[in-house]
Structure 1
């Protein structure tokens, strides 16, 4: 066999190996493509979930803010009503005190007058 034929035989072997390597690379590339596609599907699903979670959190944040506002308004109203009741109660106690003072004065005058006529 001549040197040329030997070199040609080696090149043919190398080309055959290169074809096998290329076929294997195509198989691997196809598998990688399928895996990437599957990962994209999962990534989209995760992204949708995160967007839904964010929307829920935003809605809940708004609801919490509304509840806080309602609660503050309710406490302010209750405080105002209690202050009004406090004023009414003080006014009532003042009237009762004046009435008791008047009753005591009348009783004292009556008992004093009764004591004077008894003696």
Structure 2
């Protein structure tokens, strides 16, 4: 085998080794980035669960307040109806005298 051909083969092998080394480094970097992305997604999911829990608690509070407000208005309406009835009775008593 001539020295020139051997030199070309060695040079080609060295390039292939360099390419493989670079690809290996790229793959390692990609694994690091993927692991970081996985952690980020897990954190976002945890925050989303926390926000969802907060919104659900707020919704329950609003429902409770709405129901309490309706009961309060019902009490006020009943009281106002009693006042109207008393005023009507009083007005008839004055008008008949």
Place the TM-score, normalised by the shorter chain, in its bin: 0.7 to 0.9
Give runs of aligned pairs for residues 17-36 of structure 1, distance below 5 A.
Answer: 17-36=22-41
Structure 2 counterpart of 1:4, from 5, 9, 27: 9
Alignment partners' CA distance in 2, 1:11 and 1:61: 73
- What is the CA distance between 1:60 and its match in structure 2? 1.1
Task: Identify the residue that residue 77 of structure 1 maps to in structure 2.
Answer: 82
Whether 1:46 and 2:51 are equivalent positions in the alignment is: yes
User: Highest Rg: 1 or 2?
Assistant: 1
- What is the CA distance between 1:72 and its match in structure 2? 1.2
Q: Which ranges of structure 1 fall in alignment gaps of 5 or more residues?
A: 95-119
- What is the CA distance between 1:83 and its match in structure 2? 0.8
Whether 1:62 and 2:62 are equivalent positions in the alignment is: no
Alignment partners' CA distance in 2, 1:73 and 1:44: 44
TM-score if structure 2 supplies the norm length? 0.85
Q: Which ranges of structure 2 fall in alignment gaps of 5 or more residues?
A: 1-5
What is the aligned residue count? 92
